[in-house]
Chains A and B, each alone.
Chain A
Amino acid sequence: MAESGKTINPAAEAMLGKAAETGVSTAFSRVDEMKPCPIGAQGLCCKNCAMGPCRLTKEGQVGICGATVETVAARNLARAIAAGAAAHSDHGRDLCFVLHGAATGEAPGYQIRDEFKLRAVAADLGIETDGREKEEIGVDVAEAALAQFGKQTGELAYLTRAPKKRQEIWRDLGIAPRGIDREIVEIMHRTVVGNDQDAEHILDQGMRAALGDGWGGSMLGTDLSDILFGTPSPLVTQVNLGVLKEDEVNIIVHGHEPTLSEMIVAAVRDPEMIEYAKSKGAEGITLAGICCTSNETLMRQGVPSAGNFLDQELAVLTGAVEAMVVDIQCIFQGLVGVAADFHTHVITTSPKAKITGATHMEFDEQHAPEIAREIVKKAVDNYPNRGATYIPQGQENMVPGFSHEYIRYMLGGYYRGSLRPLNDAIASGRLRGVAGVVGCNNPRVVHDEAHFDIVKDFLKNDVLVVQTGCGAICNAKYGLLQGEALEHAGPGLREICETVGIPPILHMGSCVDNSRILTVLAEMATEGGLGEDISDIPGVGIAPEWMSEKALSIGTYFVASGVYVLFGVKSPIEGSEAVTNLVGQRWEEKTGGKLEFEPDPAEIVRKSLEHIDKKRAALGLPEYDPTRFGQSGDRRFSAWLKARAEDAEVSPYSIASVSVEEA
């Protein structure tokens, strides 16, 4: 780790040096100045009415209305879940409108790119597809998807994608979501003063709203993005601040939605626009991403990534960014302050997210291509205003794009793709288990460190890792998301990676794409051999550096789906042992999953492996034995080939004369 002790990314470290030098304030410096509110940190500040705010500080204390520590902690957690679920789901909702526009032609520039997926989604939403044009189906899918948000009764359509047993658990617990919006509204209602005041009951609704996110809003967001922009499959691209170019117009797209960024991609690739950039003295236009917009454009368009959440201000600090184009979520207001010292335009585009001091160029899908061109043009026009630049060294290759459809394909091809080889690999013990390591960065801990350390330990222990969001971009920066990273993998994992041709970490997309992980888990459970429900699978979910309320919604829907979820950094319910036990033990009794907060990354790994081994034992699988597998299948042959290249006497019928390294 470099000297600041705040990041493990050398490129970021270089920029922190620059920031210190110039006295520019970033999240990395503000975190030192801003101590967390001690009562809020415990989850015990209640400001839900004007009798308070009530500052509860110890067990047994109650608020003015009599609300207990448990009630307050549970209400605060539930509201955070509601906010997170609202964010993801609103993102999903917007894609419904885009699909509608694409299908009716009202949103020029958008089209249905993956008709196959459209038909599959239509079938899941109960829409007739036989003999119908894709546009016709598209309109129906968009409308049916929108209806999922406003549904008042019954159940969300996608719940049937879960294993049968899981669906029954949800029904028995009364947490099967009726409509995406309704469950979020109900949290807000329940947590208003003088209403639901039973911690377990409040948080049951938390699970219900979260499920509406995971199996509703997010899942629709993922599906509709794939329909509109293509279902990802692996490709090669680059990551880290070094992807910015000294002599080109640099535009960064940051935020979460693919809707605008896809149009920007088209605009920057337009030869006319490139010529225009040249007319301004640039060699061309470089587009890069940050955060989940980056994940969307990485895996579909191969647009390089400048970094994750905490890299956003650092990118502006390079002085080489003509425009930072943002849409929604995870965008620091601080960007405007950093940009003030440079020529960089911070351009807000979403009708839902304006930032004081930023340039607002509001985006609407009816005029998408024109608006995108205007934005790019504005960036190009800004190129001559560029002052001194400082782009740090450092970029890595990565192979993103593992949609669940592609995962199925890669394990069997067009005719017989399935997750069977994955299940087999776990059952045989080549893979000890699977882990989803997802979520944000948080300047309260060292940038990227926990993501990297935890994942490296998992790989060494033959745990196949899937990543989304900022966690995925993090480990890509350190070279783990490419086939060449096999040296970090344990022997069994290595064998699987060699067989399929995959990196030991699969990049599955943005944070709404955590729904892809749900789909994979559901399919693993139904494929057979690993029990019959998600909670039977030897796997864990980790958010090592979480900070957003969205992470709490994601974590909760994984728990409600049967997954053991560990959050790093700190617990938002630290002040209540009862609520801590509630989301731990009690939720485990109810759902088979549990939510724990564990700041120590090493402890996260230990608990994860213990859990994975426990699940293996419960399935009657052989105990994980790192020495059992793992001679690379290519090992002997490579040695033989090499020997033949050096000595023509080698017989094809014998390896005896060739020395082979043991793995």
Chain B
Amino acid sequence: MSRYIASAAIRGANNIVEEADQLLQKALAEKGPDAPVQFPNTAYYLPVIYGFTEIQVSKLGDLLPVIEHARQLLHPVPRGKLWTPYLGEALDSGMATLFAEEAIMGIKYSLGDQPEKLDGYPGLVTAAGEGYCNGPIDDVQLRAWGIQLVDGRMPGFCALIGCAKSNEVAVQLVRELQRRNILVFLSGNVNGRSIIHQLLEEDVEMGYDTYIIPFGTDTISTIYPLGFATRSGLTFGGLKAGQARENLIYNKFRVFAMALALGEIDDLKYATAAGAINYGFPAIADTVIPEILPTGVTEFEHVVSMPFDDIDGKDDLERAEKLIQKCIEIRGVKVQIAEIPIPVPYGSAFEGERVRKDDMRVEFGGKKSRAFEYLRMLDPDEIEDGKIELVGPGFDEVEEGESIDLGIVIEVAGRKMQEDFEPVLERQIHYFLNAASGVQHIGQRDIAWIRISKSAADKGFRLKHFGEVLYARFKGEPWNSIVDKAQVRLITDPEEMKKWIGLAREAYGERNVRVAGLTDEAVDEFYSCTLCQSFAPTHVCVISPQRLGLCGAYNWLDCKAAHRINPTGPNQPIPKGEELDPQLGRWSGPQEFVYDHSNQSIDQVTMYSIMIDPMTACGCFECMVLVIPEANGVMIVSREDPSMTPAGMTFSSMAGTFGGGLQTPGAMGVGKFYLTSPKFISADGGFKRVVWMSSFLKESMPEEFKAVAEREGVPDLIDRVADERSATTVEALLACLEERDHPALKMDPIM
């Protein structure tokens, strides 16, 4: 910490803690100590305070010890001569600042002064309402983004604090971040003008959908992004309140965040930055400030000054672009910018985008037409690399809002390519196409359903651009390690369509057989998946042929392929080793692997039991399986089911309780297709244990469950299983099971 920065930060901290104290005294005098303090739609009380100190602030009086603790972290400003060290002191002052800032926001919520209302900006629409800044990110959004942060679709967040040099620069900075799918958090001002004002004046749309969150025009609002970071540690990192150090380290390594200070920096901004540096988040300034270049608290440089006018570039827009590039380098954020020659923006930020019927230019698949996608490997000399062919007419002649047939056939070749990889690559089509702005892709294989928006079509987006996207992505990291050549065929011609859909279905069938034919006994090794360790550091999925990953996205073959594609990646082969208990599915190999890869926190794991050493759960599971002791069985709740369950919890509260890398006997997160496996909790009695199951599941895989019921020897088993329509309490469930004579009631006690 430069002495200048340390001095400013320590000064700023002393002031803000004083301010918080005064505000608290005033609020206490007005409202009394029992007045409630709460951030809306979030758990974890005031999360920074709770995460670090375990203090559960729910009323004004609870803030007194917080201010007291903040005071203990303060220090005198370093002397100009004969100074004593100031780095630790400045970092502590930074934490004191965060506690004070969060306390202030808590009090302001209590007084009705938050979220901030911005008068005169009708274009401002956030989760907090029209004309209001956002306030804390709510839990639903935290979870939604959490998943994207896990799988890398979203690299991190950047807090833009202050006011950009011009409105034009402000917009460019935000666009550059968006292009890289980096969340943009806005706060602060310089002499009363905030980047939030700048973006509103330029009609930039903000809100969860666009990844741009305006928190408030003061520096204190920066506490919300840091609350978001703290909650990430608590929600996804499996950390408990009070694990301050762990949470900070978690953020350093797992949450790719940085602060970009725009315009001149005052003491409070330095103090807040000192708080953020505790998390390992570096600060970059577009003005001349002292720099702190050695590493250690952050992964790379701590504080970097990039005087805006001195950045090499032909104009301010190019300078803004370079500034963002530098920020990304400093944080070590891994982003690949796929330069794809299409007329619409491209990036994961657009993945969740919906194209509504009214905005739709054309659709393929769905109810009124058919769309399929099929990827196959060929010999290299059968492929003309980069060829994109439209077989049949485009959609120019089609009426607006109409639906037509489409086949997407991708042919690839590569020295390392194998037939086994085909489905893995084919599944990527969904992600690749969705990332184009104005394109919506749902489903897979011959139930794909794709829409193109009017605005995308207006900008010149045509069918061949699907080819451009797919070609560019398969030739980019990491897929280019196996794909040497690729060509794309987009088919609308009815004859060709018929021919190719036939070929595709033949291939789908073969693939099904290939997976279905594999049993756990027939292979020597399982695979790991530690992809989610970025958010759940102790979680290890062990994936076997008969038990796919709990997220449903990775089966054994996929892992095998993924390992070939990226040998040092999260999918590693696990030799089964010694068979310790075939009934439970306990082998020495997976146990050792899980122990070594769970920070040595979990040393026992079984494949087929929910009761004895079940697998850990990260938080991405498709279904939650939970033992209902009274019913001597288990219930299965799907992610899509929002209803109350007989366990007294909804899916989302179960996800919070049992996720984060925990091993909880009696609770297990699983992928949907594992439910149909003969190995589904086979050690505990198998599928006959299922006493309750979300109706969504029953309806989404009726054929599969029918087969399971027959296999289990109770052909009408599914009808005997209760769901949210028949029981949401244990009492109702028991009554229902009695009435339907469910087999679980007669089985051996599950516990």
| A interface list, Cβ under 8 A from B | 233-236, 397, 399, 409-417, 420-425, 428, 430, 482-484, 495-496, 498-502, 629, 631, 633-634, 636-638, 640, 651-656, 658
Contacts and interface: CB of A to CB of B under 8 A. Distances in A.
B424 interface: no
A634 B288 contact: no
A502 to B, nearest CB: 5
Interface in B1-22: 1-4, 6
Given A399-B82, A411-B296, A415-B245, 12 more contacts: A413-B90, A415-B52, A420-B297, A421-B295, A500-B85, A501-B6, A501-B78, A634-B4, A634-B291, A636-B288, A653-B165, A658-B288
B37 to A, nearest CB: 23
29 contacts: A411-B87, A411-B297, A412-B296, A413-B87, A413-B90, A413-B91, A414-B92, A415-B245, A416-B245, A416-B278, A416-B297, A420-B296, A421-B295, A424-B295, A484-B81, A500-B87, A501-B6, A501-B87, A633-B290, A636-B288, A636-B291, A638-B290, A653-B165, A653-B307, A653-B308, A654-B310, A655-B307, A656-B309, A658-B288
Given A501-B86, A653-B287, A430 B95 contact: no
Contacts of B81: 484
Interface in B43-101: 52, 73, 78, 81-92, 94-95
B384 to A, nearest CB: 45
B290 A634 contact: yes
A409 B84 CA distance: 13
A654 B308 CA distance: 7
Given A411-B296, A499-B294, A234 B307 contact: no
B84 A640 contact: no
B88 A413 contact: yes
A629 B244 CA distance: 33
B286 interface: yes
Contact of B287 (A423, A425, A501, A652): A652
B148 to A, nearest CB: 27
Interface string B279-294: 0000000111111111
5 closest A-B pairs by CB: A421-B296, A413-B91, A633-B291, A501-B86, A501-B85
Nearest to B95: A415
A234 B91 contact: no
Most chain A CB within 10 A, of B82, B84, B244, B294, is at: B294
B2 A634 contact: yes
A399 B291 contact: no
B721 interface: no
Contact of A413 (B3, B92, B287, B288): B92
Interface in B231-265: 244-245, 248-249, 263-264
Contacts, number: 152
A498 B2 contact: yes
Contacts of A422: 296
Most buried by B among A420, A423, A428, A634: A634
B604 interface: no
Contacts of A413: 87-92, 94-95, 278
Given A410-B85, A413-B95, A501-B83, A496 B290 contact: no
Contacts of A483: 82-83
A153 B287 CA distance: 65
A499 B288 contact: no
A434 to B, nearest CB: 15
A236 B307 contact: no
B309 A424 contact: no
Contact of B294 (A409, A425, A652, A655): A425
B412 interface: no
A119 B529 CA distance: 41
Contacts of B52: 415
Interface string B302-334: 110101111000000000000000000000000
B288 A484 contact: no
Nearest to A482: B82
B273 to A, nearest CB: 14
B191 to A, nearest CB: 12
Residue of B94, B302, B309 with highest tally of chain A CB at under 10 A: B309
A332 B538 CA distance: 61
Contacts of B3: 498, 501, 634
Nearest to B299: A424
Nearest to A420: B296
Contact of A415 (B244, B289, B303, B307): B244
B452 to A, nearest CB: 42
Nearest to A236: B82
Contact of B295 (A233, A417, A428, A655): A428
A302 B37 CA distance: 46
Nearest to A431: B294
Contact of B297 (A421, A631, A634): A421
Given A425-B296, A652-B287, A415 B85 contact: no
A652 B92 CA distance: 28
Nearest to A428: B295
Contact of A653 (B292, B293, B309): B309
Contact of B309 (A235, A633, A651): A651
Nearest to A637: B290
Nearest to B285: A652
Contacts of A420: 296-297
Nearest to B248: A416
Contacts of A631: 293
B297 A409 contact: no
Q: Looking at B82, B86, B244, B264, which has the most chain A CB atoms within 10 Å of its CB?
A: B82
Given A415-B245, A655-B288, A234 B278 contact: no
Contacts of B288: 636-637, 640, 652-655, 658
A500 B305 CA distance: 18
B95 A655 contact: no
A79 B291 CA distance: 54
A415 B52 CA distance: 8
B307 A654 contact: yes
Contact of B88 (A235, A412, A430, A651): A412
B141 to A, nearest CB: 27
A501 B294 contact: no
Nearest to B72: A414
Contacts of B294: 421, 424-425, 428, 430, 495-496, 499
B84 A501 contact: yes
Given A633-B291, A653-B308, A654-B310, A397 B244 contact: no
Contact of B85 (A234, A416, A495, A637): A234
Nearest to A652: B287
A397 B82 CA distance: 8
Given A234-B85, A399-B84, A422-B296, A499 B263 contact: no
Contacts of A411: 87-88, 296-297
A499 B293 CA distance: 8
Q: Which of B83, B87, B248, B249 has the most CB of A within 10 A?
A: B87
Interface hub of A430, A633, A651, A652 (most chain B Cβ within 10 A): A633
Contacts of A655: 288, 307, 310
A655 B293 CA distance: 18
B625 to A, nearest CB: 38
B618 to A, nearest CB: 25
Contacts of A416: 91, 244-245, 248-249, 278, 297
Contacts of B307: 652-656
Contacts of A501: 1, 3, 6, 78, 83-87
Contacts of B295: 421, 424-425, 428
A425 B89 CA distance: 20
A235 B305 CA distance: 31
Contacts of B310: 653-656
B160 to A, nearest CB: 16
B256 to A, nearest CB: 18
Contacts of B1: 499-501
A236 B82 CA distance: 7
A654 B296 CA distance: 28
